[in-house]
Amino acid sequence: VPRVVLVGAGIVGCALADELTGRGFTDVTVLDQAQGLAAGGSSSHAPGLVFQTNSCRSMTSFARYTVEKYTALGCFDQIGGLEIATSPERLADLTRRHGWATSWGVESRLVGPDEVAELHPLLDRELILGGFLIPGDGLAKPVVAAEVQAQRAGERGARFVFGQKVVAVETAGDRVIGVRTETDTFPADIVVSCAGMWGPVLGEMVGLSIPLVPMAHQYVFTGDVNASAEALARQPILRHQEADLYFRSHGQALGIGAYGHRPMPIAARDITGSELPFTKEDFEASWESAVELIPALAEAGVDRGFNGLFSFTSDGMPLLGEHPRLQGFWVAEAVWITHSAGVAKAMAEWIVDGQPELDLHSSDLNRFEQVQLAPDYVLERSCQNFVEVYDLLHPLQPMESPRPIRTSPFYGRQQELGAFFLEASGWERPHWYEANAGLPEVAEVPERNEWASRYWSPICGAEALVTRRRVALFDMTPLKRLEVSGPGALEFLQRMTTNNLNRKPGAVVYTLLLDEQGGVRSDLTIARLDANTFQVGANGNLDLEWLAKHAPNDVYVKDITAGTCCIGLWGPKARDLLNEISHTLDVQKGYFTAQKAFIKNVPVTALRLSYVGEFGWELYTTADMGAKLWDTLWEAGQKHGVIAAGRGAFNSLRLEKGYRSWGTDVTTEHDPFEAGLGFAVRKDKEFLGKEALERRTSTKKLTCLTIDDPRQVVMGSEPVFHQGEPVGYVTSAAYGYTTGLNIAYAWLPAGVDEVEIEYFGQKVKARPAQEPLFDPEMKRLRG
C-alpha cells in the first residue's frame, strides 16, 4: 500500500482521505497547519450552499455525488434550491439552466411567480417573473462533513496531524518522496496538495505554477427577520443572480453572500487568516438589492459580516491532476464545497485506478497553455471570473481582456479583411470576414433565432458555400502541433495509438489515443515525415503532457505550434491554384499523404487532408514565412475566386461531413465504437487501452440528428427527449449551409427514432440521419 500524505484538512482533504481509504489506500496522513479539521481555511466559514446546476457536465456530476454522499452521511439538508428571474433575459436563461440540469440528470422544474412566492414568502412577489427549482439542492454542513469523512478515514487507518505546516516537498529524481514541515518529515510515495487557496505556495515548492487567485467574497448575517426559524429553515436556498446575491437562513436571521463588489485579490503567500475584516462600503449596493428583493430586511438590518477568502481560477474550473514532471505529486484545489465529494471520488479513482470515471479534461491541472500561466493573465482572468460568476454568458462569448495575446502570422491580413475574432487558448481566431459581405451566396442563409445569432453572421454561410464551390483559406495555426522524433518514435506511437502508423514516409494516418479504460483521450492526425520523424496534429496541452509522460528516453516530444503556422487551402479549385505556383508539389498525390515542397519561395509541408470535407491541403510552414505563404496563395487565388473563411463556416462544414471534435463530441467517457470512430482502431496490433476496450460494452451512440425547423439552431448541451423522456444531450450543432440541413450531434441510446430537443423551454423536433450528410462516397475529398 503506497504511503499517501494529504496537505490540508479542509473539506477536500477530508473527503479525499475518505475516498482513498475506502479504496484500500489506508496509509494516509493528513497534515494541516491549523489546529483542527476545517479550521484554518475556506471550509471553516463557508455557508455550504449547494446548487448543482452547471453548464459543465462534470461539475454537475461532482455536485450530484456531493449531495448523495453528504445526504447519506447525515450532513446535508435537502431543502431545495431556487434560482429566480426578475428580467425577461434571466427568465429565458433559467429555461436554459433547466435544460442543462435535464441533460445532466438532475431533477428540476421551472416555476411561476406565484409558486416562487409560496416557496419563499419573504420575496417581493411583484419583482418576480419566474423561478427554477431544484428539489435536490440544499445546504451542506462543511465542518460536519469534514469531521464525518475524517472519522471514517480514521477508522480505516488514516491519521490527522495538526499544527504541521508543510514547508518543503522532498524529491528524488522525478519522484516525490515526502514532505517536510517546520518540525518533522513525513515520507510519502504520493503527496496530494489539498491546500485550497494556499495552492500556489505549495506549487512553488515543486516548480509548479498553480493558476488560482485567492479572493475575498463578502458574507453577511442579518438581524432577525419577522418569521419563525422553522419556516425559514424550510425555505429553499435562493439565488438572485441578476444582483450577484445568494441567501440562506441561520435561525431567525438570513445569511447573504455577495459577488457584486469589486474583486479583492490577495497573494497566497500573504494570507494570514481566511477571514478578513468586513469592508462595509463594498456591501452597500448589494444590501440595497437585497432589501429590494426581501423588504423585511430593511428592519432586520445587518448584524455582522466578513470578507471570506477562497480560490478563483482563470476559467472558473478546479485544478485537478498530477504534476507533469514530478511523479506522485498531485493537486486538488480551487474546489467548492458543492463539488468537494465528487472531486474527491474522481481524484481517488485517478490515483488508485489510474483513471477517473468522469471526463476531467476541463478541470485538468495540465490544460493550460504557457501564456495562461503568466501571473498577470491569471490575476486578470480570475478577477474577471469573480465579476462574471453569476453572469449570463453566451457559449461563444470570448474574454475581452487581455487581448490580443496570441496571433498567427496572418493576423494583419485578417484584420485588413475585416475579420471578426473570437478567442480560444489565447489565440485570436477569425469567425468570419466582413470583406465577404458582398458575396452573392449570402442570400441562401436562413434566418435564425436571437440566441444563435450572437457572435454569428450570415457571412459564415457564404464562406461555407464558396469553400464548396471555389476555394478558401482557413487559418489552422491555433491547432496544437507536436513533433515526435527519435529512433524509438515509431514503436512509441504504435504503442500509444490505435491505428497502424507503420507506413512509408509520406503517409498520414488518423488515429486515437485511448486511456487505460479504453476511453478516447484524443484523436490525432499523424504524418510520417521520415523514418524517425512524425508530425502530430493534436487537441491541446493534455496530449503533449500525455505523450511526453509516456515517451521513452530515445523519443522526443516537442510542441511546434508556436513557430509554425498552417493554412487549410480547401475547395475544388485548390488543385488548379497550387499547380500554377508550385513546380515541386505533386498535386496528384492522393488523399492522406504528406510531402515537402515549395510554393514559390515558401517551403511547406503539405498534407492532403481536410477537416471540412473538401479537396485540398493543409499547408504548414515556419512562422517567419507565414505572411509570404498567405500572400502567395491570395494573389494566385484571385482568378479562382479565393476567399478567406472563418471558424463559423468551418464548424458547419465539419458537421456536414460528420467529423467529431474531441472534448465536445467525444471524451474519455466514450469508446471509439460508440463515438463512430471504430474505423481508426486496428484489432491486429497492441496499443494502450486495448484490453480494456475489448471488455467494454455500450448502449449509447453519438448520433447525427437533423432538426426540422432550420431557424432553431441549437448551441450544444441541450437535453434530448424520446417519447417524452430525457434520454441524452446535444454535443455539437450547426446549420449546414451547403446541405440546407440543421444539424445536431447528440449522445443517445442506440436505435432511437424521432426525438425532441428542448431549447429555451420549447421542444424542437429532430430525427436521426444517415451520416455523413455530405459526400458519403468521398468523391470531393479524393478529388
- Catalytic residue numbers read 217, 246, 523
> DSSP alpha helices (H): ranges in 434-538?
450-453, 459-469, 489-496
Q: Which of 7/482 has CB closer to ligand FAD?
A: 7
Distance CA 673, CA 270 (A): 51
Residue (12 or 527) nearer to ligand FAD, CB: 12
Instruction: Please tell me the number of Cα atoms within 13 Å of 281 on its side-chain side.
Output: 1
Identity of residue 569 = L
Beta carbons within 10 angstroms of residue 401's beta carbon: 8
In the complex, what is the shortest distance from the CB of residue 188 to ligand FAD, in angstroms, rounded to a whole number? 14
Shortest reach from residue 381's CB to ligand FAD, in Å? 18
Q: Please state the closest distance from residue 252 (CB atom) to ligand FAD, in A.
A: 20
Q: Which is nearer to ligand FAD, 390 or 432 (CB)?
A: 390
Q: How many CB atoms lie within 10 A of CB 155?
A: 10
Quote the least distance from Cβ 318 to ligand FAD, whole Å. 9
**703-762 positions binding ligand FAD, by CB under 6 A:** none
Looking only at the bridges linking them, the beta strands covering 472-475 and 643-645 are parallel
Of the pair 217, 406, the CB lying nearest ligand FAD is at: 217
Q: Which of 4, 11, 585, 715 binds ligand FAD (CB under 6 A)?
A: 11
Q: Which three cell numbers stand for residue 300?
A: 432586520
767 touches ligand FAD by CB under 6 A: no
Task: Tell me if 710 sits within 8 A of 694, measured CB to CB.
Answer: no
Q: Count of residues binding ligand FAD (CB under 6 A)?
A: 39
Shortest distance in whole angstroms from residue 351 CB to ligand FAD: 17
Cell of 464: 461555407
Q: What strands, in cross-sheet order, belong to the sheet with 594-599?
A: 594-599, 602-607, 616-622, 564-570, 472-475, 643-645
Question: What strands lie across the sheet with 175-181, from one edge to the other?
Answer: 166-172, 175-181, 185-187
Return the C-alpha torsion angle 693, 695, 698, 704, nearest 10: 20
- Give the residue with the Cβ less far from ligand FAD, 202 or 773: 202
CB of 6 to ligand FAD, least distance (A): 9
Q: Mark the segment that binds ligand FAD (CB under 6 A) among 159-167, 531-539, 556-564, 677-685.
A: 159-167
Q: Which is nearer to ligand FAD, 75 or 309 (CB)?
A: 309
| Residues sharing a CB contact under 8 Å with residue 69, sequence separation 6 or more, in sequence order | 341, 345
Kindly report the backbone phi and psi dihedral angles of residue 602, in degrees, each rounded to the nearest multiple of 5, phi listed first.
-105, 120
Residues 161-220 that bind ligand FAD (CB under 6 A): 164-166, 194-198, 217, 219
To the nearest whole angstrom, how small is the minimum distance from the Cβ of residue 63 to ligand FAD? 8
Nearest of 460, 478, 470, 410 to residue 643 by alpha carbon: 470
Is the peptide bond prior to 458 cis by the omega test (within 30 degrees of 0)? no
Going residue by residue from 25 to 64, which x/- string records binding to ligand FAD, judged by CB under 6 A? ------xxxx---x-xxxx-xxxxx---------------
Contact code string over 603-642 relative to ligand FAD, x by CB under 6 A: ----------------------------------------
Residues whose CB falls within 8 Å of the CB of residue 592, separated by 6 or more in sequence, listed in order = 507, 508, 509, 510, 608, 609
For residues 667 and 361, the answer to whether their CB atoms sit within 8 Å is: yes
| CB closer to ligand FAD, 5 vs 482 | 5
Under 8 Å between Cβ of 128 and 121: no
- What are 640's three cell numbers? 479562382
**How is residue 520 written as a grid cell?**
478516447
Among 13, 138, 178, 316, binds ligand FAD (CB under 6 A): 13
Which residue from 4, 5, 6, 7 is in contact with ligand FAD, where contact means CB under 6 A?
A: 7
- Least Å from the CB of residue 53 to ligand FAD: 13
The cell for 382 is: 480570475
Distance CA 106, CA 83 (A): 15
* Distance in Å, CB of 162 to ligand FAD, minimum: 9
- Please tell me the distance from the alpha carbon of residue 46 to that of residue 217, in angstroms, as a whole number: 10
For ligand FAD, which is the closer residue by CB, 273 or 563?
A: 273
Rule CB under 6 A: choose which of 5, 6, 9, 741 binds ligand FAD.
Answer: 9
Q: Which of 8, 328, 637, 672 binds ligand FAD (CB under 6 A)?
A: 8
Q: Of 43 and 539, which CB lies nearer to ligand FAD in the complex structure? A: 43
Q: Please provide residue 256's backbone torsions phi and psi, each rounded to the nearest 5 degrees.
A: -125, 125
- For the segment 337-396, give every residue that binds ligand FAD (CB under 6 A): 337-338
- The least CB distance from residue 722 to ligand FAD, in Å, is 34
Cβ atoms 371, 377 nearer than 8 A = yes
List the one residue from 131, 214, 257, 316 that touches ligand FAD (CB under 6 A): 257
Contacts with ligand FAD, 328-347, as mask; x by CB under 6 A: -------xxxx---------
* Piece in contact with ligand FAD (CB under 6 A), picked from 1-9, 19-27, 728-736, 752-760: 1-9
Sites for ligand FAD among residues 656-685 (CB under 6 A): none
Q: Rank residues 156 and 165 by Cβ distance to ligand FAD and give the closer one.
A: 165
Residue pointed to by grid coordinates 517567419: 624
Q: Which of 464, 398, 468 has the alpha carbon at shortest distance from 436?
A: 464
Nearer to ligand FAD, 149 or 525 (CB): 149
- What amino acid occupies position 68? E
* Element at 102 (helix H, strand E): helix 88-103
- CA–CA dist 320, 386 (Å, integer): 20
Shortest gap between Cβ of 85 and ligand FAD (angstroms)? 21
**Nearest to 191, CA basis, from 177, 204, 208:** 177
Cell reading at 358: 468522469
Q: Which residues of 178-195 are buried (b: 16+ CB within 10 A; e: fewer)?
A: bbbbeeeebebbbbbbbb
DSSP states of 477-488: TTS-EEEEESTT
Question: What is the nearest approach in angstroms of ligand FAD to the Cβ of residue 273?
Answer: 10
| Least distance CB 539 / ligand FAD (angstroms) | 29
Nearest partner of 607 among 616, 750, 599, judged by Cα? 616
Q: How far apart, in Å, do the first and last CA atoms of the chain sit?
A: 59
Q: Which residues contact 370 (CB under 8 A, 6 or more apart)?
A: none
Select 94 or 212, whichever has its Cβ closest to ligand FAD: 212
Task: Kindly tell me which of 258 and 476 has the beta carbon lying closer to ligand FAD.
Answer: 258
Map 659-694 to HEC letters.
Answer: CCCECCCECCCCCCCCCCCHHHCCCCCCCCCHHHHH
- Helix, strand or coil, per DSSP, at residue 500: coil
Q: Which of the residues 299 through 318 are near ligand FAD (CB under 6 A)?
A: 308-310
Instruction: Point out which residues bind ligand FAD (CB under 6 A).
Output: 7-13, 31-34, 38, 40-43, 45-49, 164-166, 194-198, 217, 219, 257, 308-310, 335-338
